[in-house]
């Protein structure tokens, strides 16, 4: 098997592979659009060849202004490949870690073979930690949540957000945050997170720090957007203020900011194990509509 990145003349063949129905999020339309805006790149799209025939494909996503791919969006194998696991694992290993593989599905289809075989390949390539993220959606058919009467919200500098993120990471139940802190430390993780959120489509000037009546910093609220539309970027409460239901105040502010700018749907994800955040989404009228399985 030969592995190489895409060249321009591979495009038609790749689009044909992507028309096959599968759990992959990459469709032919998305591939062309993202290739244009830089979320997908030829040098981030890996092919496996058996002779002259394409046997496998891996499509990676990264921020359009980023320097490296971050997440695998698609694994495809030709029907002739009886066991795609070794080939897919080899394709995944072409991209240096840390990377993630995100699979989107419905809770009822969590154990489908199509997902299991992809997770097996990811595990063989070193992506052995599998987490489940609940996907939530708020729509403007619901009343806008009431804004907090006990917190005030203000914009702040990147430095202030890095400080807040660093403090919030202590005792976080978020799997990616915990892994990042273990890998590079709380400060570096906070710097990286702020940079990543700045790369998202939502305007930076929507971000807010939240203060209580005594003027103490309580947490942060980051409304944002990705390619699919408006999203809850980040909600965080400082450890010393946890347990007072402030998560709801912050989520209400994010929802409100996005709703007044015209959002009719707002999407959000949280780890299934992040119980306080799951409860907060459900109290605020967000509906769980899907599951994101993440191998990292």
Ligand X SMILES: CC(C)(COP(=O)(O)OP(=O)(O)OC[C@H]1O[C@@H](n2cnc3c(N)ncnc32)[C@H](O)[C@@H]1OP(=O)(O)O)[C@@H](O)C(=O)NCCC(=O)NCCS
- Residues in contact with ligand X by the rule CB under 6 A: 168, 171-174, 235-237, 242-247, 270, 274, 276-277, 280
CB of 230 to ligand X, least distance (A): 15
Q: For 119-162, give the DSSP string.
A: HHHHHHTT---EEEEEEEEEETTSPPPPPPSS-EEE---HHHHH
CB of 235 to ligand X, least distance (A): 5
Cβ distance to ligand X smaller for residue 99 or 168: 168
Identify whether the C-beta of residue 241 lies closer than 8 Å to the C-beta of residue 213: no
CB of 173 to ligand X, least distance (A): 5
Cβ distance to ligand X smaller for residue 34 or 246: 246
Cβ distance to ligand X smaller for residue 87 or 252: 252
Q: Checking phi first, is residue 165 left (phi over 0); if not, alpha (psi -120 to 50) or beta?
A: alpha
CB of 145 to ligand X, least distance (A): 14
Those residues with Cβ within 8 angstroms of residue 83's Cβ, 6 or more apart along the chain or in another chain: none
CB of 249 to ligand X, least distance (A): 8
Cβ distance to ligand X smaller for residue 55 or 231: 231
CB of 102 to ligand X, least distance (A): 15
Of 93, 118, 115, 96, which Cα lies nearest the Cα of 105? 115
Cβ distance to ligand X smaller for residue 171 or 215: 171
CB burial string 16-48: b at 16+ within 10 A, e below: ebbeeebbbbbeeebbeebbeeebbbeebbbbb
Of 98, 112, 10, which Cα lies nearest the Cα of 52? 10
**Dist CA 100 CA 133 (whole Å):** 13
Q: How many other C-beta atoms can be found within 10 angstroms of the C-beta atom of residue 221?
A: 29
CA 202, 203, 209, 210 torsion-angle sign: negative
Cβ distance to ligand X smaller for residue 64 or 276: 276
If you count DSSP H runs as helices and E runs as strands, how many of each does the chain have, helices first?
9, 12
Residue 48 structure tokens:
């496996």
CB of 248 to ligand X, least distance (A): 6
Cβ distance to ligand X smaller for residue 45 or 172: 172
Cβ distance to ligand X smaller for residue 40 or 197: 197
- What single-letter DSSP state applies at residue 170? T
CB of 188 to ligand X, least distance (A): 17
Say how many residues make up the chain: 296
């Amino acid at each position: 098997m030969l592995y190489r990145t895409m060249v321009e003349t591979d495009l038609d063949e790749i689009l044909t592979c992507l028309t096959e129905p599968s759990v992959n999020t990459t469709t032919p339309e998305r591939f062309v659009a993202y290739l244009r805006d830089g979320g997908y790149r030829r040098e981030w799209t890996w092919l496996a060849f058996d002779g002259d025939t394409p046997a496998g494909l891996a499509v990676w996503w990264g921020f359009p202004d980023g320097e490296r791919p971050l997440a695998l969006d698609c694994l495809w194998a030709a029907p002739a490949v009886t066991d795609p696991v070794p080939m897919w694992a080899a394709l995944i290993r072409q991209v240096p870690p840390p990377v993630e593989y995100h699979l989107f599905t419905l809770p009822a289809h969590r154990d489908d073979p199509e997902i299991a075989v992809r997770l097996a390949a990811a595990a063989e390539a070193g992506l052995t930690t599998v987490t489940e993220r609940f996907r939530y959606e708020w729509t403007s058919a619901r009343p806008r949540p009431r804004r907090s009467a006990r917190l005030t919200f203000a914009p702040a500098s990147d430095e202030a957000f890095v400080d807040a993120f660093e403090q919030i990471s202590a005792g976080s139940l978020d799997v990616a945050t915990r892994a990042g802190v273990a890998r590079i430390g709380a400060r570096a993780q906070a710097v990286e997170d702020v940079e990543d959120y700045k790369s998202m489509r939502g305007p930076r000037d929507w971000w807010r720090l939240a203060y209580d009546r005594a003027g103490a910093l309580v947490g942060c609220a980051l409304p944002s957007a990705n390619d699919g539309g408006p999203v809850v970027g980040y909600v965080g409460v400082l450890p010393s203020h946890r347990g007072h239901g402030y998560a709801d105040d912050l989520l209400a502010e994010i929802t409100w900011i996005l709703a007044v700018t015209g959002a009719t749907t707002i999407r959000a994800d949280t780890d299934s194990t992040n119980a306080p955040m799951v409860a907060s989404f459900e109290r605020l009228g967000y509906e769980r509509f899907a599951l994101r399985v993440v191998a990292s």
